[in-house]
């Protein structure tokens, strides 16, 4: 396959070297993200993810394929709760790559403050589930769902899922996920114990951790491993709803325990969660 045909660009959005850098949104292991404002259309702001230069062992082609893995996945999908990828730019030397993305604002970990409004939290979670359900329908598993990777859009009116660096496109020949990736606090137990696992069901587990935090404002455990006392107590208990106090709606407590089912073969899927959301939306 010719490399230039792998990646899909959004030709409707234009960028200029004269656009204004507004701020630095964040820095991480893979690079930094900056917020820009269009000079020709000041109302339009966008994010630029600037990746670190290629490793000494990489050639230009391998570096481009590795870095643009995330762009390639996002550019092939379209959903209101998933961040858009507009374009990318490769330096003349081939050592630096920039990806142009839809601008977001603060992430959920930064924004969530007490008190807890259950209806508001459920609305946020519904949007996250909607985005993940779409990904799974497109045979994509995210594998790093966490509060830090859920942002509001620039107008704070809509939730967006970001950071697809460890996402996987599933195929008939490659239908399972491999390896412990993402964040330990949100990783499913089978990611620790199995060489291969169902990436979609691992995403579902992460959705349960997110829902728990939205309601309780803390994470249930630091890792879903047997040497973690909180998780060990939960997984061996006959009453897994006990991680909640009595103040929470029983229906939410019940679905959370079904999502946080240690055995992936017994765990509910995104379709089950969406049916649950439809049933309770008018009851809370």
User: What's the CA gap between 284 and 281, in Å, rounded?
Assistant: 6
Q: List residues bridging with 93 in a β-sheet.
A: none
Q: Specify which residues 51 forms β-bridges with.
A: 31
Yes or no: say if 224 and 188 are a contact pair by the CB < 8 Å rule: yes
In this prediction, residues 131-138 reach a mean pLDDT of: 98
| Distance of alpha carbon 22 from alpha carbon 34, whole angstroms | 8
> Tens digits of per-residue pLDDT, 205-240?
999 999 999 999 999 999 999 999 999 999 999 888
Query: What is the reported pTM?
Result: 0.90
pLDDT in tens, 29-68: 788 999 999 999 999 999 999 998 888 888 889 999 999 9
Instruction: Pick the catalytic residue from 19, 87, 144, 198.
Output: 144
Is residue 98 a contact partner of residue 51, using CB atoms and an 8 Å limit?
yes
182 has pLDDT over 60: yes
Tracing tokens 């995104």 back to the chain, one arrives at 270
Band of pLDDT at residue 126, cut at 50, 70 and 90: very high
Does CATH place domain 105-280 in 3.30.830.10? no
Catalytic status, residue 144: yes
CATH, domain 3-102, list 1.10.357.10, 3.40.50.300, 3.90.1200.10, 3.30.200.20 = 3.30.200.20
Please give the annotated binding residues, written as ranges.
49
Domain boundary assignment for the chain: 3-102, 105-280
Binding residues for ATP: 49
């Amino acid at each position: 396959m010719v490399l230039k045909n792998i990646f899909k660009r959004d030709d409707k959005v234009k960028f200029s070297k004269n656009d204004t850098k507004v701020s630095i949104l964040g820095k991480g292991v893979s690079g930094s993200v900056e917020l820009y404002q269009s000079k020709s259309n000041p109302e339009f702001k966008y994010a630029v993810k600037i990746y670190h230069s290629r490793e000494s062992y990489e050639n230009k082609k391998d570096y481009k394929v590795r870095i643009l893995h995330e762009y390639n996945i996002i550019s092939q999908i379209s959903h209101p709760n998933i961040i858009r990828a507009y374009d990318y730019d490769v330096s003349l030397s081939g050592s630096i790559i920039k990806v142009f993305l839809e601008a977001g604002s603060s992430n959920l970990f930064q924004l969530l403050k007490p008190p807890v409004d259950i209806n508001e939290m459920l609305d946020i979670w519904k949007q996250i589930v909607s985005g993940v359900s779409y990904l799974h329908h497109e045979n994509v598993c995210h594998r790093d769902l966490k509060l830090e990777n859920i942002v509001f859009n620039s107008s704070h009116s809509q939730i967006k899922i970001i950071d697809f660096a460890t996402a996987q496109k599933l195929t008939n020949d490659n239908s399972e996920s491999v390896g412990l990736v993402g964040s330990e606090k949100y990783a499913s137990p089978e990611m620790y114990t199995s060489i291969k696992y169902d990436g979609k069901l691992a995403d579902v587990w992460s959705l349960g951790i997110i829902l728990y935090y939205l309601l309780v404002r803390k994470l249930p455990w630091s890792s879903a491993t047997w040497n973690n006392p909180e998780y060990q107590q939960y997984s061996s208990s006959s009453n897994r709803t006990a991680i909640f106090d009595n103040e929470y709606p029983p229906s939410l407590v019940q679905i959370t325990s079904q999502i946080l089912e240690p055995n992936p073969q017994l765990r509910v899927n995104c379709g089950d969660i969406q049916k649950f959301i439809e049933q309770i939306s008018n009851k809370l």
